[in-house]
Each structure stands twice: as structure tokens, then as C-alpha cells.
Structure 1
Amino acid sequence: MEATTQVNNSRIARMATNALFFICGVSFASWASRIPDIKEKLHLSDAALGSVLFAMPVGSLSALPLAGILIDKFGSRKIAVFATIFYFVSMPLLGMAGTSWQVVFSLFLFGFGSDLLNISMNVQAVGIEKINKKSIMSSFHAIFSLGFMLGAAVGGIVAKEDITPFVHLSVCGAFDFLIGLLTFRFLLSHDHKPDEPQPLFAMPDKSLIILGIICFCGMLCEGAMADWSVLYYKDVLNQPGGFVTAGFTAFSVMMVTGRVAGDWMMAKLGLKNILLLNCSLVAVGMTTALVLKIPVLVVIGFGITGLGLSTIVPLIYSEAGHSKTMAAGVALAAISTVGIFGFLIGPVIIGYISEFTSLRFALSILIILGLTGAFLTRKVSNS
């Protein structure tokens, strides 16, 4: 009877956690959709804008060391709702910012809150997996991707309708906070913890370190694709303006598709095999896109790359959350720190290498990263 009640509660908690993943995706895309307006409003150069935007990852990285400690002490349910307060405050501030420093301050708050929510909602997802005794992490990240796509679409529409960033982002922030309040009572009240009490600060075991390196490779590839795939399609292939996003669109759609199917694939193949498949697809996809300079094949190659990257992070998050040597929040914060560093440094590395060689050569690093990830999966235990 108790097991049945737990499963029923986990179904409700799963819906509530899905809502958190959804607003996280919507919020990030909503802000991203208004960057051109804010750049124009503040008369920022590309270099100045790049410096301003760096405040968000700084905020994210600042939150990660605290996230595990706060979640271990107060529980992921409370921290998830607390994180939405940062959205409620920072998004209107972003919309009304009149100087670069105001944007920097607001972006820092936004990044800080985003990663508090990121870690806490993933801890909730791990707890739900534990109750259901199966991997469902990929489906949560699919909801994030769907929220991101919807947020980007709505952002484009409201921008065309001349709705100000302040109104747009204020409504989004209020919506986030409302969802946080509504979902609070439905989230799991107790987080999954190892059988034996674990210290807040501990050296990750070998398997967690390996997963962290694979996560770093995957997120470095994601960051590089997000920032450089459109430019490659436009400049290297000399395609007309209306088609420059074709490759990135294929990449994004296949990311969502892979995440939707990810839980089923995990049940069929196990962690080790699916990570090997994922990393191999990244290498094959990027080889196709870079070697065969035919537009349609580049689109196909980018799509294969998106499919390969789709479930690397969700499945590694799931495995880290079930760590037997670290509390779920601490383990997820550790993995996220490594992964986000890869996401941030990837575009920079590609830019520098491209400056001295070519963008085509620089993006070939993604092939090496895919092969590196595939090689490291030999040391991952199957689950």
C-alpha cells in the first residue's frame, strides 16, 4: 500500500517537476530573444555585449558551489521555489535596465537563480526516478527543450509586435514565480540520499570523475554548436540569409527528439551503451557536416550531432544523482560545474582557433571530443 502511494505521489511530483523544467527553458529563451533589443537600446558593440553577457555564467558558476549545500540543508523543494524569486526580480530588471552595469547586475541574479533551479529540479527528478525504479531524466530535459523552443517563438512574436522587453520579461518572471508557488506542495518533500550519511565536501569517486569529463565534452560541443553553427552555414557555405538557420534548426529538433526517446533507449541499451552511441553520433555528424560541404548534408550532419548530444547531459545527471558516495545535490552541483565550464569555454576555444586557422578546422575539435567521450565510456559501468 505504501509503495502504491509513493508511486501515485511521484506521478504528481513528476508533473510539478516538468513544470519547473518548462519555465526554466521558457525563461532562458525569453531573455535570449530580447538581447538584440537591449543591445540596440544601450548602443552596445559586439565586444561590449559579449562582456555584459558574461555576467550570466558568472552568476551560474557562483550558485553551483552553494546549491548542493543549500539543497542538502533545506531540501530541493524549498530551494526550487526560492530560485523562482530570482526570476521574479531579475527579469523585470533586465527589461528596464538603462545602463550596462544594470544589465550585468540583473544577469548575475538571473544566472544565479537559474542554476539554483537547475540543480534543485534535477534533484527532484532523481527522487522521482528512485521511486519509479527507472530512468526518466531524459523526458524532463525534453520538456526543458520544448519550453526553450516555445519561449523563443513567443519572444520573436512579441518583439515584432513592439512589446517592450520590460513588459515581456516582467510577465515571464511573474509567471515563473506563480508556477513555483503552485508546484511547491506537489513536489517531493524528501530528497534521495545515499544509504550512509555523506559529507558535504568529498572527493568524487572515479566513475563520477569520468562522467564529469564526458559531460564536459558534451556541453563544450553544445556551446560550440549554439554559437557557431549558424555562422558556419552562412559564411563557409555562402548560403542565402533565409536558410542560414537550417542547420541549427535541425540540430535543435533532433535534440528534442533524442530526449523524448532517451528514457526508452536507456531502458533498452543501458547507460554505457547509450553514451557510446551518443558520442559516436557526435563524431559521425560533425564529420559529415565538415567534410561534405554540401548544404543538405551539412543540415543532416548537424541533425545527427544534435541527436548524439541530446541525452548525454540528462543521463549523466541521472547517474550522478544516484551517487553512492555523495548527496544528490552535491554530486549534481559538481557535475554541473564541470559541464557549464565546458559550455562556456567551448565557443571561446572555437573562436580563437578559427581566428588563426579556419572555422571549419576549429569545429573539427567536436569530432575529437565525440571520439574522446566514446573512448571514456569503456570505463563507465552499465546501468
Structure 2
Amino acid sequence: MESRKKQRIALSTYFFISGFFFSTWASRIPSLKTFFDLNEAELGNLLITMPVSSMIGLPISGWLVSRFESRLPLLASFALLALGLLGIGFTDNMFMLVISISVFAFAMRIFNIAINTQSLSLQKKFDRKIIGSFHGLWSTGGVAGVAVSTLMIKLEIPMFYHILMVAITGTLAAAVSFSFLLKKDRSTIGNKLRLGKPDKFILYLGLLVFFAALCEGGMFDWSGVYFRDVVNEDIFTLGYLIFMIFMALSRFYSDKIMERLGMQKTYIVSSVFIISGVLLMTIFPNFWAALVGFCLVGLGVAAVVPMTFLLAGSSEKYSPGMAISIVTTYAIAGMLLGPPLVGYIAHLFNLRVSFGLFLIAGLMLIPISKRVLKYREFQGTSEET
């Protein structure tokens, strides 16, 4: 087998494991809410530790991907990620839970930068787009993770046993794949973060992934609570599971969709799906309407992040690693600030009203995508979209 195929398989494994880990954590949030007897606002306070910890990792992640080959911070951050996940599963007091979530979020920050830097470097070895397939595998890992969580909940397996099995299996797979990852991908230029007036191209890209990630993060953290408290479904992971399945399926086809429709139309279609899904699940909060609504939102958010990361790799000001680092800051902010905001709004009103936040986020994709593509065309850096 040629080396680039081995590298693609190895990197795909890390994307899959990352999705599996994250969905394991997200699908167990209702369990943590029940165990620690938290209301929506208290859960929101707990979840806000993630964006804070992630932001702490911003300067560190940017420095690591510019100083070393991306596979080295990828491995180190994965080890921390596994430790953080274990801590979440084994702790029985709030202080240690906050510490464990903080470690998990900090490690996820560095891991995301490293793994997306790898994907952009590997993309250059292929004539056709492959970025979407990597994110599809992340979502597939998420589907597998929430499916396993659903089974564990159904069988009443204690959370710490569940998370221990996930951490051990994921670590073994990561260890086997590490030696096949892409080597010597460190960029020698564009690695310095320039303060002052923000680069408009990167700013627009950041806002796109912020709003997409706000929807994605909200679905991750609140879908289970929504299905349990609003839809009154005992197997509360069903909403999350269907959301992840449709997001994964869509991401595997996102590369072809981009090439056929063009980026602007793909952003518009994504926005329409998100808006339609949120309206359906909130206006008709019954089982089937909510299920279809989660399907539509999954289809809508699927292409936005891989498509935007691909655009970030074409930045003239920054190296792919640094551009991804900056844009991912917005993505993580959206993914991790969204859930606590939903919690606060739900505490003031109710959970159905709080999901209006996703409606606004989906709507914002249209004007911002038009701006970023017009700016890119104006700068003369555009490829055929």
C-alpha cells in the first residue's frame, strides 16, 4: 500500500477516536446532571469551564504546531484527552469533575489543531478533495460513541465502567496508528500570530465556524436533555444518535456536494436545513417531529466546518497550521459557549425557547459566507468554487 494511503488511514483513525471520545462525554451529560442534581443554570456553569480551558490552550496550540511536526502534539494531547475522559467518568465530587472537564477541553483544543493541520498537509498529496471524509469519520466516531452510550444506558452499566472501556480501546487504536501519521509537515513561514487589526478573511471564516459550531455543540450537549425533558423519551440519547448519523452521512458526501454546487450554494443549503430543523423540533415537540428536526440540523451543520477549514488552508497571511489554530478558536468558542448559553436561556424561559439560539446561528451563515467568498475573490486567491 502506498504511503499516502497508510497516512490517510492512520489519520482517519484519530478522527474516528476523537469523535468517539467527544460523543461519549456529551451523551453522558444528562447522567452527570442527574448524579450531581444540577438545574439547567448550574449545568450551564459547569459547561462554561470548557471554553475557558480551551482558550487557555490557544497560544500553546499555535506554538506547538509551528514548533514541531503536527503528529507530536497530536500524540501528547491525545494522552491528556484520555486522562480527562477517565477523570469525568470516575470522579464523585464537583471539584474533580471541573478539573477533569478542564483537562479534557484543554487537550481537545490542541488535538483539534494538530489533527486538522495533518489533514490539510495530507490533502496536498491528493488531486481530489478528502477533507470532508475526515470530518465524516469524526462524526462516524460520534455515532459509534453515542450508540455504545445508548447500549450502556439501556443495560444500566455504570458510567465509570463505560468510560474506562472507551478510554482503553481508543488509546490502543491510537498507539497502533501513530507510526503511520504524516511526518515532517512543519511549515517554516506564516507561523507567527500577528496582533492588531484582524485579517478579514480569517475573521469571516472564524465567524462561519463559530455559528456552525454553536449549533453543533448545542446538539451535542442538549439533545439528550431535550429528548428526556421536552419529548419525554426514556432513551434520551436517540436525538443525539440520529443527529450524529445524518451529520456523518452528509460529511462523507460533502466533498462531492462542494464540487457540484459550489461553496456559496452549499453554505445556503446548510443554513436552510438548520433553520428548518430547529423550527420543526421546537414548534412540534413530539417524538417524530423532533427526530426529523435533529436529522435536518445534522445535515445542515455537516459541510460547514470542513469547507471552512479548507478555505483557511488557502490563507496568504498564515501557514495552514496557524490559520487552522486561529479559525478553530472561533469554532471551539461556538461549540463550548453555545451549551452554557442554552442553559441560561432555558433557566429563564424554557428549553424550547433556548433552541432559538440555533435558529439565529443557522441564519447567520448566509450573509457571512457571501462576505468571505466575495473577499476571497477580491483578493485573487480564489480557486474554482
Q: 1:210 to 1:87 in 2, by over 3 A?
A: closer
Answering whether residue 163 of structure 2 is matched by residue 169 of structure 1, we say: yes
Alignment of 1:1-383 (within 5 A): 8-35=2-29, 43-46=36-39, 50-158=44-152, 164-191=158-185, 193=187, 197-202=189-194, 204-229=198-223, 239-242=231-234, 248-291=240-283, 296-356=288-348, 359-379=351-371, 380=373, 381=376, 383=385
Aligned mates of 1:280, 1:328 — CA distance in 2 = 30
| Cα distance in 2 between the residues matched to 1:378 and 1:229 | 30
Aligned counterparts of 1:157 and 1:288: Cα–Cα separation in 2:
28
Structure 1 residue 246: Cα displacement: 5.7
Return the letter of the residue paired with 1:135: K
Partner AA of 1:45 in structure 2: L
Structure 1 distance, partners of 2:84, 2:137, is: 23
- What SS class does the counterpart of residue 143 from structure 1 fall into? helix
How many residues get paired? 372
Contact 2:44 2:343 in 1 (8 A): no
> Gaps (5+ residues) in structure 1?
none
User: Post-superposition shift, 1:269?
Assistant: 2.4
Superposed CA RMSD in Å reads: 3.1
Residues 123-167 of structure 1: CA deviation (Å, up to 9, x unaligned): 111111111133221111111111122122223434555655444
The answer (yes or no) to whether the contact 2:146–2:240 under 8 Å persists in 1 is no
**Whole-angstrom distance in 2 between the partners of 1:40 and 1:131:** 48
Post-superposition offset of 1:360:
4.2
Cα distance in 2 for residues equivalent to 1:365 and 1:319: 26
Q: Give the Cα separation in 1 of the matches to 2:346 and 2:44.
A: 17
Kept in 1, the 8 Å contact 2:30–2:225? The answer is no
Q: Secondary structure at the match of 1:145?
A: helix
- With normalisation by structure 2, the TM-score equals 0.83
Q: What is the identity, as a one-letter code, of the residue corresponding to 1:252? A: M
Asked if the contact 1:224–1:343 (Cα under 8 Å) also holds between the matched residues in 2, the reply is yes
How much does 1:244 deviate? 6.5
Residues 135 and 266 of structure 1 are in contact (CA less than 8 Å); yes or no, is this contact kept in structure 2? no
Pair 1:206–1:53, CA change in 2 (3 A): closer
Work out the CA distance in 2 between the residues paired with 1:38 and 1:294.
Answer: 25
Cα 1:33–1:11 change in 2 (3 A) is same
* 8 Å contact from structure 1 (residues 97, 103) kept in 2: yes
Amino acid at match of 2:266: I
User: CA deviation digits over 1:282-301, x for unaligned, max 9?
Assistant: 22333444456676444333
**Deviations for 1:40-80, whole angstroms, at most 9, x for unmatched residues?**
66x45346555444434433222233112101101111111
CA distance 1:36–1:347, change in 2 (3 Å): closer
Partners in 2 of 1:232 and 1:93 — Cα distance? Answer: 26
* Whole-Å separation in 1 of the counterparts to 2:367 and 2:23: 34
TM-score (structure 1 length as normaliser):
0.84
Q: Percent identity?
A: 30
CA distance 1:93–1:377, change in 2 (3 Å): closer
Q: Which runs of 5+ in 2 are unaligned?
A: 377-383
Shift >6 Å, 4+ stretches: none
Shift of 1:358: 5.3
User: What is the deviation of 1:367?
Assistant: 3.0
Using the alignment, how far apart are the partners of 2:287 and 2:28 within structure 1? Answer: 29
> For the residues of structure 1 that align with 2:299 and 2:161, how far apart are their CA atoms?
36
**Structure 1 counterpart of 2:119, which letter?**
A
Q: Distance in 1 between matches of 2:370 and 2:110?
A: 32
Is the partner of 1:185 in helix, strand or coil? helix
Aligned mates of 1:367, 1:242 — CA distance in 2: 26
Q: Could you tell me which amino acid in structure 2 is paired with residue 12 of structure 1?
A: K
The answer on whether the counterparts of 2:66 and 2:186 sit within 8 Å (CA) in structure 1 is: no
Aligned mates of 1:378, 1:330 — CA distance in 2:
24
Given that residues 23 and 146 in structure 2 are in contact (C-alpha distance below 8 angstroms), is that contact kept between their aligned partners in structure 1? yes
